[in-house]
Amino acid sequence: MYITRRLSEYRRNPSELTQPPPEGPSSGVLVIHDQHSQIQSTCCFGSCEVVECNHSGLPLTQNLKLAVLFNSGGDDSTNDPIVFIPVLDKPLSSNCYYAIRRRGKYSGEASTSAKEEDIVSCCLCLTQVPEAKPKQLDPYDIYQQFEIHQKKPSSRYYHATSVAPDGVPPWFLKKKEWTVSYSRSQEFELRDDAKGLNKELRGKLPDLGESVVVGKWYVPFIFVKERDAKDQIKRSVYHSMTLEQRWEEVFSYENDKSENGDVVVDVEVEDEVVKLGGQEITRGVNENGFVWFGVGDRKIGLRSVVVERMKWEEERFGWRSKGEQERAMVVKRLEENPKDGSFWKSYHCYVLIESFVLKRMDESLVLTYEFRHADKLKSKWSELVGTTSVVVGKWYVPFILVKEGDAKNQIKTSTYYRMTLKQRWEEVYSCSYNEEASEVVVDVEVETEVAKLGGEVTNLRDKRADGFVWFSVLRDERQDMKIGLGSVVVERIKWEEERFGWLNKGDEVRSRIKRSERFEGGSSQWKSYKCYVLVESFELKRTDGSLVLTYEFTHVDKLKSKWV
């Protein structure tokens, strides 16, 4: 995995060339030939033809089409298009490169040194070492690594030797005084935007619902296998690799019984998941230095060094592999209710996922490699709408304004009654996401005035007699429960509600809520929509705290929406 640096930076600070590649094993630096370098070009009808220029000095650049030229002035002149990729884990000052053929029969394969021991005799009693054929790159094969030398620091002439002590480079590299020509091409358009890992951003962790890029690298095609090497080098010489963070829900619990206790999380999750074209696939198979992943007839190979580097990156951030035999891990914990004993509606547990996303230069997705960090969890509690209420007023009502049985017994039971005014939001409408609908239409009928005795809705409301308004609930065929409130108390209650916007419709106690809602959440997609109406409740209790009556008023002019 390679980061990028500009050539002009190294020209200003040559000592930087001696620094080893950053961030651990299987690392390298791709050098970007930037705007300060001289390139001549001509353009016609929006298409640019670039005039080839001679590359002068080391290090060699990776965002240009390079070719090794040798001009002897005779038939021995050669032109070999090559992609020079810096050798992994070595500083640029080593001038060590993989030399990848860019055209011809061996396009996409790595130049290889022959061995001196392979010397053979030829005509006239002469001996020579046969040239080794290019083959698939092995990044740690020293016979496929070449050190480039300049005749002088300011010279544009080069020659190469094999990193292997007994290695004999191919003829086009070992010849003295070859030059490097270069030209711009869209297939080599690398940007100086791969700076490796952003440690500070990675440590912050994203908010729920967000996906954050915390690192970027480039991976040359020689480390990725997805088709014939000749076709692959034409389609994408480099691949971008980003490291992204997000939270994924692994456990949820709906509290239908309105309990306010704790939650036990006990769930099994995969510690690593690979997706090919968005489809989850089975574990990779190691073969010839590649780890292969497949869906149906489609296969993608990643160099083992790339997979090992990804896992190294994850392990230093706390991820632990369960090994090849066991990919699942258990998330088990006790979550204590943080709502100070209040009721909650739902609990959700999320695990941090870090994903390496591999794309071609045209931004098409190749592969996603996900790692789940069971040590990094986040919880979310949702309060139970309708049970969480706020007291916004309090009064006392003498027993003479309340009728519930014989007056003599009543004065002994409760001389005064406590009246509180509470507010809460109550759900009146909900729906799930519908691809065919761009907006939500709410059309629902609600009761605007409800009286309850002991939690039960009264069946005879607002029956007046002797200065009292009587409310009753039929218990059985012989007896019903009756409570009388002084008319002045009921009138005061309604006056309080009317001045807050409640509309008194007389005997008509039902009203319609009708509105349309459009999701304004940007490009993200919503899962569900809920509409809530404000309910104000007057609660009448005896001095011992026992509930007598609840008088509720629904404010259809005060609504709240929630998109999930």
pLDDT digit string, tens, across residues 403-461: 987 878 888 888 899 999 999 889 899 888 776 666 889 999 999 999 988 778 876 45
pLDDT higher than threshold 90 for residue 313 = yes
| Confidence (pLDDT) at 256 | 60
In this model, does residue 312 exceed pLDDT 60? yes
For the chain, what is the total number of helices (H) and then of strands (E)? 7, 40
Q: Which domains does the chain have, with CATH numbers?
A: 2-188 (2.80.10), 203-382 (no CATH), 390-563 (no CATH)
- Please write the tens of the pLDDT for every residue from 57-85: 899 999 999 999 988 766 677 899 999 99
pLDDT value of residue 235: 87
Average pLDDT over residues 232-245: 93
Contacts of 355 (CB under 8 A, 6+ apart): 243, 244, 245, 246, 368, 369, 370, 371
Tell me if 145 sits within 8 A of 207, measured CB to CB.
no
pLDDT band at 388 (very low <50, low <70, confident <90, very high): low
Instruction: Tell me the backbone φ, ψ of residue 172, rounded to 5 degrees.
Output: -65, -20
Nearest to 180 by CA among 41, 109, 82: 82
Lowest mean pLDDT among 28-32, 323-327, 413-417, 559-563: 323-327
pLDDT reported for residue 78: 85
**DSSP secondary structure letter of residue 242:** E
State the Rg of the chain over Cα.
38
- 487 CB burial (10 A radius; 0-12, 13-18, 19+): middle
Beta bridge partners of 416: 398
Most confident of 31-45, 71-85, 447-461, 526-540: 526-540
Per-residue pLDDT tens over the stretch 492-506: 999 999 999 998 887
pLDDT of residue 338: 61
Output the pTM of the full model: 0.67
**C-beta of residue 280 within 8 angstroms of C-beta of residue 273:** yes
322 versus 94: the higher-pLDDT residue is 94
Percent of the chain past pLDDT 70, that is, above it, reads: 85
pLDDT value at 343 more than 90: no
Instruction: Give residue 485's pLDDT.
Output: 92
pLDDT of residue 41: 45
The 3-class SS string of 72-132 reads CCCCCCEEEEEEEEECCCCCHHHCEEEEEECCCCCCCCECCCEEHHHCEECHHHCEECCCC
Please tell me whether the peptide bond between 153 and the residue prior to it is cis, using omega within 30 degrees of 0: no
The predicted-structure confidence for 389-401, as pLDDT tens digits, reads as follows 789 999 999 999 9
Mean pLDDT computed over 16-23: 90
Q: What is the pLDDT of residue 553?
A: 95
Q: Give the N- to C-terminal CA distance of the chain in Å, as an integer.
A: 38
pLDDT at 37: 58
What pLDDT does 465 receive? 79
Q: How many CA atoms lie within 13 A of 6 on its CB side?
A: 12
Query: For residues 26 and 1, is the Cβ–Cβ distance under 8 A?
Result: yes
- Beta-carbon contacts of 38 under 8 Å, excluding residues fewer than 6 positions away, are 53
Which helix (H) or strand (E) segment holds residue 306: the answer is helix 304-315
- 172: helix, strand or coil: helix
Which one has a higher pLDDT value, 314 or 528? 314
Judge whether 268 and 338 are in contact, CB under 8 Å: no
140-178 pLDDT per residue, tens: 999 999 999 998 877 889 999 999 999 999 999 998 889
d(CA 250, CA 335): 14
Please state which of the ranges 9-13, 343-347, 454-458 shows the lowest mean pLDDT.
Answer: 343-347
* Distance separating alpha carbons of residues 150 and 447, to the nearest angstrom: 89
- Position with higher pLDDT, 382 vs 180: 180
Q: What is the reported pLDDT for 162?
A: 96
Q: Which residues contact 363 (CB under 8 A, 6 or more apart)?
A: none
For 387, the 3-state DSSP assignment is coil
pLDDT confidence bin for 476, thresholds 50/70/90: low
Interatomic CA distance for residues 95 and 447, integer angstroms:
82
